[in-house]
Amino acid sequence: MLKNILRSPLIPMILFVLLITFLLLSLTNTLSDLTRLCFWVLVLCTFMWLIFIKLYNRQNPNNQIKPLGIIPPEFRDMDEGQQWVTYKACKNVYIYYSFALPITAGICFLFYDKILVPLICIGVLGIGQYIVYWLTTVRVLNRI
């Protein structure tokens, strides 16, 4: 159970949303208490995630998860079937970015005077990537 939670894209997506929320709130300078709260929730979630990874790695020394590895933990390339699922999901994320990046660049150019627009666009791109990857993985695995 812990392995599935730690290897799912849910935790990095939550941390990413918290980071973008913190950056957006810190740039507005209107809600300083909410900004501090968001920062401490981000720190707490990151700390808890690292503790759970350390706990999992102690229990499973042969199948460890690298918390600061270059390869994301949701890439489960243990056999050919899982490599194929990862390939399909990454292909769909690449297709998503081929449409989303030009649209995001256009939005950033249209609203260049607004400081929050690039951060919101980066947040939407990141969340969209996780959603496309997750939905493709679930859809492909349910079809098998």
Q: Residue 85 above 60 pLDDT?
A: yes
Structure tokens at 49: 């995630």
pLDDT band, residue 72 (cuts 50/70/90): low
Whole-model pTM?
Answer: 0.61
Which one is predicted more confidently, 45 or 27?
45
Whole-number pLDDT of residue 100: 94
* 24-41 tens-digit pLDDT: 777 776 667 777 787 888
pLDDT of 95: 94
